[in-house]
């Protein structure tokens, strides 16, 4: 079980053979690496499953390999145009997850230099088309861990600034707290060749273009998003996890975020958020044990509006009314009123 998706293994992945598994998209949500939060967002799981399937099937048409096999309805594997109503179960090819060991408070990735294929690559690839408020780029520029020349800019960017061309960032995937790293370190820890790293960047840009084009139908702007990869048993790249959803991406409707960033906006004004920021600075591996209080639940009306937001996103991105819900425009107006924005 993950913080927001459950994993049901149907067939184990072996050294030389991919397995089969199902994602059960739950109504749980997670922010700031905390894991499961105290309340749930109704129908979020079904909405994300449908959006994810929609984008995977678009990628298949483009000839981009993914681990997606289909979605499950009434126990049967189907494609999106074959189901009668929303489902929260997606079936996919399962790769091995090779976790780095912790040695002397550092991660040892040597296992990836010994393996040929059939494993999850321990990286998250992040594309950025703009720099919304809350983007980690501002924090990293301030700390000096990122330089302007790294992102092709000559002066300090402003919140909401659109970039002249997409930036591709890379971070760790399997550490207790994900950290941004250089592409040189990414290649080293994951055992990637220069050609494999460049292919990952190329596919990321193609996925970014697809998502940007498709969400325009809902009058949404694609600010940034994350992508994950694996190698199949022949060491060919596969897109894995899920793509194109409001949990994997940061979408915007005019000046309003359309993603779990709305929950982050609420939580940034809590004492709990201040506590976790302090804890992460003290110990980036065992920080949770230093946070004394649990996160407060979302207010009931905000949780209801977030549910409506996910459902409306699903309807408008896929151009099909899967859910009985108002328009994205109306829901966003109500969220702004709720958050006093």
Of the candidates 153, 152, 136, 180, the residue with the CA atom closest to the CA atom of residue 277: 136
Burial class (CB in 10 A: 0-12, 13-18, 19+), 140: middle
CA distance 101 to 106: 8
Q: Which domains does the chain have, with CATH numbers?
A: 5-338 (3.30.470.20)
Angle at 155 between CA 153 and CA 125, to 5 degrees: 35
CA distance 121 to 118: 9
What's the pLDDT at 1?
A: 54
Provide the residue-wise pLDDT of the chain in tens; the chain has 341 residues.
566 889 999 999 998 899 999 999 999 998 988 888 999 999 999 999 999 999 999 999 999 999 999 999 999 999 999 999 999 999 999 999 999 998 888 899 999 988 999 999 999 999 999 998 778 899 899 998 888 888 888 889 998 889 989 999 999 999 887 899 999 999 999 999 999 999 999 999 999 999 999 999 999 999 999 999 999 999 999 999 999 999 899 999 988 989 888 999 999 999 999 999 999 999 888 899 999 889 999 999 999 999 999 999 999 999 999 999 999 999 999 999 999 87
Which residues on adjacent β-strands are paired with residue 227?
A: 125
Backbone angles phi, psi at 340, to 5 degrees: 55, 45
**178 contacts 32 by C-beta, under 8 angstroms:** no
Which residues on adjacent β-strands are paired with residue 89?
A: 24
What's the pLDDT at 149?
A: 85
What's the pLDDT at 151?
A: 82
Which residues on adjacent β-strands are paired with residue 308?
A: none
**287 contacts 25 by C-beta, under 8 angstroms:** no
CA distance 36 to 295: 10
Q: Cα dist. 164→39, 88, 153, 160, 243 in Å?
A: 39, 37, 9, 13, 23
């Amino acid at each position: 079980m993950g913080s927001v998706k459950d994993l049901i293994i149907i067939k184990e992945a072996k050294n030389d053979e991919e397995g089969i598994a199902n994602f059960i998209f739950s109504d749980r949500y997670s922010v700031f690496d905390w894991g499961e939060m105290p309340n749930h967002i109704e129908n979020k799981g079904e909405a994300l499953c449908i959006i994810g399937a929609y984008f995977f099937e678009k990628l298949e048409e483009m000839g981009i390999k993914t681990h997606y096999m289909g979605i499950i309805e009434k126990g049967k594997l189907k494609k999106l145009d074959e189901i009668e109503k929303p489902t929260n179960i997606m079936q996919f090819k399962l790769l091995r997850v090779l976790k780095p060991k912790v040695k002397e408070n550092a991660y040892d990735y040597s296992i990836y230099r010994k393996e040929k294929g059939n494993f999850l690559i321990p990286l998250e690839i992040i594309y950025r088309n703009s720099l919304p408020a809350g983007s980690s780029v501002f924090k990293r520029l301030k700390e000096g861990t990122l330089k302007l020349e790294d992102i092709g800019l000559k002066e300090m960017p402003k919140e909401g600034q659109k970039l002249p061309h997409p930036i591709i960032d890379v971070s760790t995937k399997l550490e207790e707290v994900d950290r941004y790293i250089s592409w040189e370190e990414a290649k080293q820890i994951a055992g990637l060749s220069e050609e494999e790293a460049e292919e990952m960047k190329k596919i990321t840009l193609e996925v970014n273009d697809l998502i940007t084009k498709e969400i325009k139908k809902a009058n949404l702007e694609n600010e940034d998003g994350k992508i994950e990869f694996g190698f199949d048993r022949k060491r060919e790249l596969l897109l894995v996890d899920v793509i194109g959803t409001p949990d994997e991406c940061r979408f915007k409707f005019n000046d309003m975020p359309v993603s779990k960033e709305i929950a982050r906006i609420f939580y940034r004004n809590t004492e709990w958020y201040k506590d976790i920021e302090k804890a992460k600075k003290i110990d980036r591996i065992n920080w949770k044990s230093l946070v004394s209080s649990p996160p407060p639940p979302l207010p009931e009306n905000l949780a209801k509006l977030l549910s409506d937001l996910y459902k409306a996103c699903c309807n408008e991105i896929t151009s099909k009314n899967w859910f009985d819900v108002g328009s994205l425009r109306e829901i966003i107006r109500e969220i702004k009123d709720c958050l006093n924005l």
